[in-house]
Amino acid sequence: MECELKDQIAIVTGGARGMGAAIGACLARAGSRVVLTDIDADTVKRTASQINDALGNEFAVAIAADVTNERQVEALIEETGHRLGAVTTLVNNAGLLFPTPVADISLGEWEKVVSVNLTGTFLCSRAAVPVMREQRFGRIVNMSSSAGRSVSTIGGAHYTAAKAGVLGLTRALAKELAADGILVNAVCPGLIDTQMVREICDEKAVAAYEGSFPLRRLGLPDEVAGVVRFLCNPESYITGASIDVNGGDLMI
C-alpha cells in the first residue's frame, strides 16, 4: 500500500456506492483514514467494512448523514473529529440525477437536484473550512461533471445547472481559501459505469454512447478515484482547477 496520504483524515460524501465507494477505497489505499457518509446507512456501512476487509485494517468508518441537512453536516464534521481526528480532506461526491425534460421538471424535483448536487457541496465545504483553517491545511475536491462544462449526456436541465454551479463554487472557494493553505479543485467525469447510469441507460443506449466516445467505452469509477487522489496530495500546487475524466467525449 502506498502512503502519500498518511495522517490525512478524509470525508467522502455519497460514499455508499459507485464513484464515492471507489474514491473512499482509493484514498484508504493511499494511507488516509476515511469517513464514508451517505443517506443510505446500511449500504455505506457495508462499503466501509469491505474496504477494511480488503486492506486488513480499520481505514474506513461509516457515518450516515444527509448533505442537504445543515445540522447533520455540522454533526458529521464534529463526529469525524471525535472518531478519527480533524478533517483534512473533503470530497463532495454526493449527487442526484434525473433525465426529466425541462417542461416536466416540477419545482420540487428541481430543488431536490440542486440541493443535493450544489447546496450539499456548499454546506459540507462551509462546515469543514473552520477546521481546515485551524490546521492551515486542507484539500477540497468537488465532483462536477461534463454537464457543468457543456450539457449533461443523460441528466436534465437541473443537473446541468447544478454541476455548472459546482464549478463556480469551486473557483470562488479556491480564491478565498488559498491563503489558508486550503486547495479547492473540481473533477468533471463524463459517463462513468456506475449503478446510477445503468439504472437510466439500457444496454442499447450504453453501446451507442460507447461508440461515440474516442476511447470507445464508459469510464470506470476507479479512474475517477485516481484523479481525486492526485488532487488530495499534500504536496500539490493545484487550486481552482477542474479536471476532465470523460474518455475524450468533451475536449476543451
> Mean of the pLDDT values across residues 103-117?
98
Q: What is the pLDDT of residue 199?
A: 82
Confirm whether 196 is domain-assigned: no
- The pLDDT of residue 220 is above 60: yes
Confirm whether 26 is domain-assigned: yes
Q: Kindly tell me the burial class for residue 1, based on how many C-beta atoms sit within 10 Å of its own C-beta (0-12, 13-18, 19 or more).
A: exposed
Domain span at 61:
9-191+222-237
Confirm whether 243 is domain-assigned: no
Q: Name the pLDDT band for 3 (thresholds 50, 70, 90).
A: confident
- What's this model's pTM, rounded to 2 decimal places? 0.95
Q: What is the pLDDT of residue 218?
A: 87
Confirm whether 87 is domain-assigned: yes
Report, as residue numbers or ranges, the catalytic residues: 159
CATH of the domain at 57: 3.40.50.720
Helix 221-231 vs helix 18-29: crossing angle, to nearest 10: 50
Q: Encode pLDDT of 123-182 as tens digits.
A: 999 999 999 999 999 999 999 999 899 988 888 999 999 999 999 999 999 999 999 999
Name the residue with higher pLDDT: 208 or 168: 168
Confirm whether 247 is domain-assigned: no
Confirm whether 77 is domain-assigned: yes
Confirm whether 109 is domain-assigned: yes
Q: How many domains does the chain have?
A: 1
